[in-house]
Amino acid sequence: MMTLAESVKKVPLIAVLRGINPTEAKQVGRTLVEAGFTCMEVPVRSKKDGFKSLDADALASLGILMKECSADANVGAGTVLETGDIAALQKIGIRDCLAPNFNAAVVTEAKRLGTDFIPGIETVSEAKAALAAGASALKLFPCVMREADGSITYRHAPAYVKTLVSFCPAPIYPSGGIDWTIAPLYRAAGAAGINIGGELYSPGRSLEDLADRARKFVAAVKG
């Protein structure tokens, strides 16, 4: 299986599959691969239990995605919050982990065990601290806030990515609220890739809708 860094050089998108379950994992994974995606992330902790433990459905889905898609795409774990998560995920073959936050202890443990870790950051100070702890790249989160009426507010606009890249010579992955109309702006600002969540996948979305959204994202960043 290619690494996350290798996968985003082919197509600079990471499909975040929050809430996926084992019964749909194979079809969702193959749909994304057929649309051109080369990287997928399954968040392994959820708000169902207050993010207290690794989610059994997420772990099972990771196993299925790795079996069905690893020849074509990187499969990694997201919402990796505790040091013990790293070894547990390595046991099922996961070598790329992401988080919405920066926890120096988790980053250090990942580096010790040889797992590439991408923590969430917002500021230059956080970014530099994360890199010093051993982060392989940085996730800028959250970027776009979406209101119920469809309006958006930038928490971290594309221009901020350009500033962050100038201070931190590391791959930056903007995340949160980014759709296919906005993704090219972040790429043009220097983002190595884009984390795509609910604008691409959500539980219960039809495979036809997923495929259509996936193709729009791929066309947007390749156009």
Q: Write down how long the chain is.
A: 223
CA gap 19, 6 in Å, rounded: 26
Give the DSSP letter string of 182-217: THHHHHHTT-S-EEE-TTT--TT--HHHHHHHHHHH
Is 139 labeled as catalytic in the residue annotation? Answer: yes
Residue tagged active-site, from 41, 109, 122, 199: 41
Provide the H-helix boundaries in 70-204. Answer: 83-90, 104-113, 124-133, 158-167, 183-188
Is 82 labeled as catalytic in the residue annotation? Answer: no
Residue tagged active-site, from 68, 109, 122, 139: 139
* Closest to 187 (Cα-Cα) out of 220, 153, 142: 220
CA gap 90, 87 in Å, rounded: 5
* Closest to 102 (Cα-Cα) out of 139, 65, 51, 52: 139
CB atoms within 10 A of CB 36: 18
Going from the C-alpha of 26 to that of each of 66, 69, 192, the distances in angstroms are: 9, 8, 27
Q: Which residues are catalytic?
A: 41, 139
